[in-house]
Amino acid sequence: MSLYLNDALIFIGKHQIFMLYHISKPTAFHSYKDLAIAKFSPILKGFIFILHVRLFKRGVLLCLTNRKEFIRKGIEVLKMYKPRLYQLLRFIIVITLTILGYLLLTVGFSYLYPLLIASILAMAINPVANFFEEKWKLPRMMAVSGTMLFTFAFLSSIVFILFSEFMQGTTFLATHLPDYVQTFSNYVTSILDQKIMPLYEKMTTYLQALDTSQQEAINNSVKHITEHISAKLSESLQFILLQIPSLFTALPSSFTVTVFILLAAFLIANDYQQISLFSQKIIPHSLQTKINRVQMQFKKTVIAYVKAQLILVIISAVLVYIGLKLLHVNHAFTISLYVAFVDLIPYVGSGIIFFPWMIYLFIVGDHALTIQLAILYGSIVIVRQIIEPKILSSSMGTHPLVALIILFIGLQIWGIIGFIIAPLILISIQAFYQAGIFQDVWKFIKG
């Protein structure tokens, strides 16, 4: 077809030369040069047209040849890099599944967390229930019920001891609180009489000496600041008052969730073996082996993390007790128990007790004890910051720098909640690593 197209175009070019040569009728020419140009320029145009046709044909054929060559080389390159492309595809699959798992976890956690907590409690109860069932030949239901009752009694005893200490401390505070309030009131009154009122009189005298425009500007600024502070206080008070009904509304829901968790934990622990056998039937053996490895490593990591936190809390409580005893502070043991309890609160810790205490002592004029408590609190914070990464790393088998980086990333991403989420991430990463999941994923990507 291309040959016929070429012959047709050449014929058109020759015909154009013939027509242009015979049709051209030269008019008045000033020289032979003009006559030659007029006669032969159509012929030259025709030859140029034929040359363009031939070049066009060669260009089309060259493009077709290059296209085939390009496709052939592209196929060769794809064959050469076929393993790399499959690795890239498997990597994309892993990233996609990770993102989908994260989204599913974040969305479904608010609905599934009672069942998750119940499963964790059932796994914790199961070994003790198995011990009672095998050693004492108790029925399964009785073994699970006894384990849960024993756990509940143990936790209730701890709560009772803490509550007794709290009541003793509260009684002591109620006995001495009127004296503290009277001392605080006298101190505030003396500050008002000795410092605030003279300063107010000086400011009034200074304002009266200013121009009217300056007085209006200062009054407007003070009015604006006062309105801003009043608005912020009103918003804060309104927020607190609005949270009180929601708190009372959440109490029945919390009670319902607690009952559901306990019942679900009892049922899961009671039928733990049947559930395990059912899961073995529906889950492939290879996947089940990996799940068992992750579960075992997760238990070890959680136990190690709880042990590390208990060590840190005990160290903080002992330091507080020794420090308060050296400072001759009453009820040092009760205060150290409070510190141990609030030290479990992320980011806040023992500062929620020490800061109000130091502020009060500073206001009432007990500057010596204020400085001593500040030194004690600073020592506790420094010791905890130094030993926390080391204890976590030694208990969980991670490097202190890795633990510190994960804690910092959790703080930057989730804020204060990150101090709760970051340890969970650290535990999960450590469990997956010890179970060999990351190695299996890397082998899957490499093929």
104-114: average pLDDT: 79
157-185: average pLDDT: 70
User: What pTM was estimated for this model as a whole?
Assistant: 0.54
CB neighbours (10 Å) of residue 200? 11
Of 435 and 259, more confident: 259
Separation of CA 138 from chain center: 45
* pLDDT at residue 24 tops 60: no
Q: Are 106 and 425 in contact (CB under 8 A)?
A: no
Residue 66, phi-psi category: left (phi > 0), alpha (psi -120 to 50), beta (remainder): alpha
Of 51 and 329, more confident: 329
Q: Are 373 and 381 in contact (CB under 8 A)?
A: no
Rounded CA-CA distance 404/343 in Å is 18
Average per-residue pLDDT for the chain: 74
* pLDDT at residue 318 tops 60: yes
**342 confidence band (pLDDT: 50, 70, 90):** confident
Rounded CA-CA distance 404/422 in Å is 10
> Which pLDDT score, from 0 to 100, does residue 348 have?
59
Q: Are 344 and 359 in contact (CB under 8 A)?
A: no
Q: How far is the first Cα of the chain from the last one, in angstroms, to the nearest whole number?
A: 50
Q: Are 114 and 260 in contact (CB under 8 A)?
A: yes
Structure tokens at 361: 């002592």
> Which pLDDT score, from 0 to 100, does residue 274 have?
87
62-82: average pLDDT: 66
Of 348 and 409, more confident: 409
Please name the helix (run of DSSP H) or strand (run of DSSP E) that holds residue 114, with its range, or none.
helix 82-135
Q: Are 369 and 399 in contact (CB under 8 A)?
A: no
323-344: average pLDDT: 83
- Over residues 371-417, the pLDDT tens digits come to 988 899 888 888 887 887 777 666 666 666 777 777 777 777 776 66
What residue type is assigned to position 284 of the chain? Answer: P
Q: Which of 137-146, 226-235, 296-305, 335-344 has the highest mean pLDDT?
A: 137-146
Locus of tokens 């054929």: 61
Task: Look at residue 226 and give its three-state secondary structure.
Answer: helix
∠ CA 411-413-417, nearest 5°, is 55
Rounded CA-CA distance 343/349 in Å is 4
Task: Look at residue 343 and give its three-state secondary structure.
Answer: coil
Q: Are 304 and 395 in contact (CB under 8 A)?
A: yes
* pLDDT at residue 206 tops 80: no
229-249: average pLDDT: 69
CA Rg value for the chain: 43
Q: How buried is 257 (Cβ within 10 angstroms: 0-12 exposed, 13-18 middle, 19+ buried)? A: middle
Rounded CA-CA distance 162/336 in Å is 11
Query: What one-character-per-residue DSSP string does 206-225 give?
Result: HHHTS-HHHHHHHHHHHHHH
Please name the helix (run of DSSP H) or strand (run of DSSP E) that holds residue 138, with its range, or none.
none
Rounded CA-CA distance 84/89 in Å is 9
> Which pLDDT score, from 0 to 100, does residue 92 have?
92
Separation of CA 382 from chain center: 26
Rounded CA-CA distance 439/432 in Å is 9
The domain spans of the chain are 2-80, 109-282, 283-447
Q: Are 427 and 301 in contact (CB under 8 A)?
A: yes
